[in-house]
Amino acid sequence: MNKLDDKIVAIKRESEIKFVRSSGPGGQNVNKTNSAAQLRWSLANTLALSERERNLCFLKLGSQLTTEGELILKSTESRDQAQNIKLVYDKLEQIIRKALFVQRKRIKTKPTYSSKLKRLDTKKIHSEKKKNRKVID
């Protein structure tokens, strides 16, 4: 396991799961069972992330957080409570991975000698092609 996986496991431990009535599939069964899983995780009070990572998450997840700095996710896709728990944890993991991903800076490289020659050759060929289209007097 890498460091990010360890952090995600710690975040899953910090989060709270609550079960609510689902509006998804299930017919009459929906009205009497609490099959939807609702996950709450406090980004503001987390110990799993460093200060830099927390600030990065606040920056990227700002619109998804409550005013107290909590992330609330809900899963109603399945009729099964256990399946909804798995789905909501998968959503949380996906969101955290996306929030903590930092794009590497591109290192500028110079074109190689052969690529320069190839470019010039194609330009010459193109130029000759156009030159041959001219009407001769």
Q: Please, which pLDDT band fits residue 24 given cuts at 50, 70 and 90?
A: low
pLDDT digits (tens, 9 = 90+) for 58-99: 888 888 888 888 888 888 887 788 898 899 999 988 988 888
pLDDT digits (tens, 9 = 90+) for 121-136: 999 999 999 998 887 7
Q: Please tell me whether residue 73 adopts helix, strand or coil conformation.
A: strand
Q: Decide if 76 contacts 24 (C-beta within 8 A).
A: yes
The predicted structure's pLDDT at residue 28: 66
**Cα 93 vs. chain centroid, distance in angstroms?**
9
pLDDT digits (tens, 9 = 90+) for 36-66: 888 898 888 888 888 888 888 888 888 888 8
Domains of the chain: 3-100 (3.30.160.20)
The predicted structure's pLDDT at residue 51: 87
CA–CA gap between residue 39 and residue 58 (Å, rounded):
18
